[in-house]
Amino acid sequence: MVSTDCMVYTTFDPNMAQIWHTPFELQKCQKVKCPLRVSKIGIPGEAGGTVPKSYRRRERKKPNPTSMSPLQRSVTLFPGPADQRRAYVSLQKSCVSCSHSIYQDVQDFRRKPLTYKGKTGYAPSTRVPQGAIGNLKRHSRGVVRGHQEEKRKMKRGKLALAVLGVAFCSLLGIRGVSLGRQGATDIVDDCSCGHRHDGGHVGIGGYARVERTVLQTPDRDSRPLRSGDLHRPLSLSGMSDSWGRDFVIAFPENLYDRDALIIVTADVLTSGMVNIPGLNWSQDFTVQPHSAAEILIPMAAEVQGSGIVGNLGIHVTSDHDACVYVVHPGAPYGASCDAYMALPSDILGNEYIILGYPETVSARGWDPTLAPSQFTLVCTADNSQVTITPSANTLDGKPAGVPFNITLNRFDTYQLQAGYQQDLSGSQVMSTKPVAVFAGCKCADIPIGHCCCDFLVEQMTPVATWGRSFLTSVFERPGSSLGDPLRVLGSEDNTTVSFTPPVPGSPFNLNRAELVEVTIEEPTEIVADKPVLVAQYATGYSWAFAPGDPFEVLILPTEQFLDGYIYLIPAGYTLDFTSIVVPTIAISSLLFDGSPINPSIFSLIGLTGYSHGTVEASDGCHIVTADRPFGIYVYGWNSWSSYGYPGGMRVVTTTSLITGGGWIPGNPLGPANKRTFGFNVHSEGGVTWGQLQFNDHGIEMKVHSDTIHTLIVYGDTTADFSGDCRVDGIGEYTFDCEVEDRGEPGHAKDKFSLYVWDSDSNLYYAAGGVLGGGNIQIHTAGDGVLANLTRTFGGCSGPESENNGSIQHADVVRENRGALWQNSPNPFHKKTGISYDLSLPSHVKLEVFDHAGRLVKTLVDRTQESGTYCIDWHTNGHPSGIYFYRLQAGDFTYTKKMVLLR
């Protein structure tokens, strides 16, 4: 794939912006004024080959008029006073396919004023350390090598892209962008670059980071995506968000019979289909850019009753990324309505804890079976084994606290309901395959006994995505001065939840699946020391004495905010609002439908650095953007009805379901070089979490990397494992770690990672594994089972090296295969170390291949005993590029990637 690549830099001065490209792409621009004219030679993150000779010759013949080095040609000019004379060199590269990113700040240096084409700013001086420049050039050079064949194949396509790009930018009024051979850029007054941005750049800029913001868009569509109103972030770490192309949702039971409305929003021309296989019903839709499509779902799709397996799953697909919202409108009754934001299939999970609301209408003399507490499941794959532990007695006779199993196939649905003043909040759902879960109440009075009831529904987020820090405020509701109920649900035992400003009874201590309900009356911060789920509720008309009735909204953790949203306000409501929680310093960058938001509407949320404000919005589609992540909640009121939903979210795995923590006391008077080690076991709820690795260049984070070791505990067993920690071979310390399996034999496995660091916060060890149903146990040394696992960082000390003085842990029985570690250091220059573990004696073959699949070196080809090995690979003149190393040990084969930089 060959694509365009550019960066849009903005400053807090709205009249200043700039487009630039990495230096090895400037040659393609010539003097065409459209940023689409610049075509990438390679894919960010890929490497190999050399810089084209034609470009090097051009460098010699036409030096930069500002006497800058080739790397400095990609320069950003900054306005500012004369005393701003510090700058930095930085590198950022990432591959959106493998989610691998590298970021490096080299060092500060002086800069001097520079005038170019009538514009004056501060740019790096020529006294940039050449070592820093050379280091960055080696990284950036990898972008262009190894893709000449793709370049030739796409030549005609690039020409067509250039022509279309010129027309595209002409329509948008882009002007003044000139990326010629001499490598400098004009500063334009207004840039609305409309093409997609890949995630790699090399840049030089001012040291004061707040002077600029890098706007990047994800590589998802292989085509131009949007104009400058960027509304969702690039996920360098592989994190997902509420945008997707495949959604599996359900239509939970409402008190009143009516159709549901599916709303699909998109930022580009998008086509798709809504399909209900169980009804043999489907409908196509088309979404215009920055707009929405509405699809009415037939009443027959509603999931009814308790304890019945059906086939009423709703499947929404699209050819480009979209957001999906589901609204249960109030017409024709003007009551019992709500809405929820749908989650795409790729971020659904295997474990959920329900947060809904109890049956309350019986307090007003209603039959309690008319409006029960409820939750609904829809399955994404065949033969899914689902275990449900209800927290209350259900209408179909299932007792509280007793787990039961069901088998669901793709698009199957299952609903549970609980009667007289029962609450299914705290019910637990475990599945062998991902499921979507929707919870709430068929029609709830809030608070109990106060008219009128309303339908409540929200799609539950997987436990693995819950958070610890939340910010919210009271819903804007003209005529009401009362607060809003708020519920917090715990995922782990001994969870402490605090509120700022305090609420009566806080801080609270919650165990797993326990909740607390409070009332907030002003902007509030909620902080928990372990992951929790938070929901906020609107109250009924007779309680608030103001228009509207109850609805439910999930409050999102701050780390899951996005930097832009496209959403739709449904018709039929008198008052519609968008509640915004934004970093205070980003208020000036907020745009609502392209216009700045009056900063006076915002009020500080304590000392959090965030502010809260509410915007009244009209019916239809709206776009809200900012230069930093922020959160929005959309809601509306009618006389006897209301709705609410979060506008979108970035899905970040935040939980720690199975934990151990704390510090092992050390002796401060002990010998030098001895440190105190701490530990943490971090469960990922079925999602493989990345590993942190120590190498020669610092700490590198790779998200969604591979399992390193497999540790399996049977049933409800609690296991300890411990070992000696050595720092540079000097001094021994012991760390202990306790892990507990919360599941039963045969249930889904639960991934976890182990991180060990010293009291100075230096990371020395990282391991990941699987915890869950199985028949392999972790034994203690007293049982006579001992498996020493040693991890070596920064290469090997010899041709092979075992137990050579980094970190050991014992009392572990591993899965009967092995493990291949990421090489270290990576990227590397002359030598790197490749480590692997063998659980059993095996014939081992360790080979290195280049990016074209050609065998470069066989490092090992012999039988080895079980244990941990580290093999050095000396590059011996091999060119820069991406290489692959493959381990074959018995029936275990695994391949990893590494980067050689000259």
**290: region left, alpha or beta (phi > 0 left; psi from -120 to 50 alpha):** left
The pLDDT value given to residue 18: 28
> How many whole angstroms separate alpha carbon 443 and alpha carbon 255?
6
DSSP conformation class of 34: -
Residue 689: count of CB within 10 angstroms of its CB: 22
Parse the chain into domains and list their residue ranges: 7-215, 243-651, 656-815, 817-902
User: Does the structure show a pLDDT above 60 at 650?
Assistant: yes
What is the CB neighbour count within 10 angstroms for residue 717? 12
Q: Has residue 596 got a pLDDT over 60?
A: yes
User: 628 pLDDT exceeds 60?
Assistant: yes
307 vs 30, more confident: 307
478-487, 646-655, 839-848: segment of lowest average pLDDT: 646-655
**pLDDT class for 77, splitting at 50, 70, 90?**
very low
pLDDT above 90: residue 202: no
pLDDT at site 570: 84
pLDDT, mean of residues 445-449:
84
Kindly state the tokens that stand for 742: 């919360």
Tell me the pLDDT tens digit for each residue of 250-295.
Answer: 999 988 777 788 999 988 899 999 999 999 999 999 999 888 999 9
Spatial CA neighbour of 725 closest among 755, 684, 695: 755
The string of pLDDT tens digits covering residues 121-155 is: 443 332 333 343 344 344 333 333 333 344 444 44
Residue 652 or residue 447, greater confidence: 447
Using CA atoms, how far apart are residues 28 and 42, in angstroms rounded to an integer? 13
- Pairwise CA distance, residues 534 & 488, whole Å: 5
End-to-end CA separation in angstroms for the chain? 25
Tokens of 356: 């809904």
pLDDT-derived band at 175, boundaries 50, 70, 90: very low
**Helix, strand or coil, per DSSP, at residue 588:** helix
pLDDT for position 335:
63
Question: Average pLDDT, whole number, for the chain?
Answer: 62
Residue 672 has pLDDT above 60, yes or no: no
d(CA 436, CA 289): 28
Q: Work out the number of other CB atoms within 10 angstroms of the CB of residue 614.
A: 17
- The secondary structure of residue 170, as a DSSP letter, is H
Give the tens place of pLDDT for each residue, 751-805.
Answer: 333 433 333 333 333 333 332 222 222 222 222 222 222 222 233 433 222 222 2
Q: What whole-number distance in Å separates Cα of residue 141 and Cα of residue 144?
A: 6
Torsion over CA: 62, 67, 72, 78 (sign): negative
The residue-averaged pLDDT of 546-567 equals 86
Distance between CA atoms of 294 and 322, rounded to whole angstroms?
A: 13
**Residues, the chain, total?**
902
Look at residue 240 in the predicted model and tell me its pLDDT: 61
> How much is the pTM?
0.53
The model's confidence at residue 539, banded by pLDDT at 50, 70 and 90, is confident
Residue 322 half-sphere exposure toward CB, CA atoms < 13 A: 32
Fold of 817-902: Immunoglobulin-like (2.60.40)
Q: Taking residues 235-241, report their average pLDDT.
A: 40
Residue located via tokens 């420049």: 133
Q: Which of 179, 77, 70 has the alpha carbon at shortest distance from 118?
A: 77
Q: Which contiguous run of DSSP H or E holds residue 141?
A: helix 130-141
Say if residue 468's pLDDT is above 60.
yes
Q: Pick 381 or 654 by higher pLDDT.
A: 381
Give the separation between CA 741 and CA 884, rounded to whole angstroms.
36
Helix (H, G, I), strand (E, B) or coil at 19: strand
11-42: per-residue pLDDT in tens?
A: 222 222 222 233 333 233 333 332 322 222 22
- Token pair recorded at residue 424: 């299914």
Q: How confident is the model at residue 167 (pLDDT cuts 50, 70, 90)?
A: very low
The average pLDDT across 470-480 equals 86
Residue 181 reports pLDDT greater than 90: no
Strands (E), 221-348: 240-241, 244-249, 260-266, 270-276, 281-287, 291-297, 308-310, 314-328, 338-341
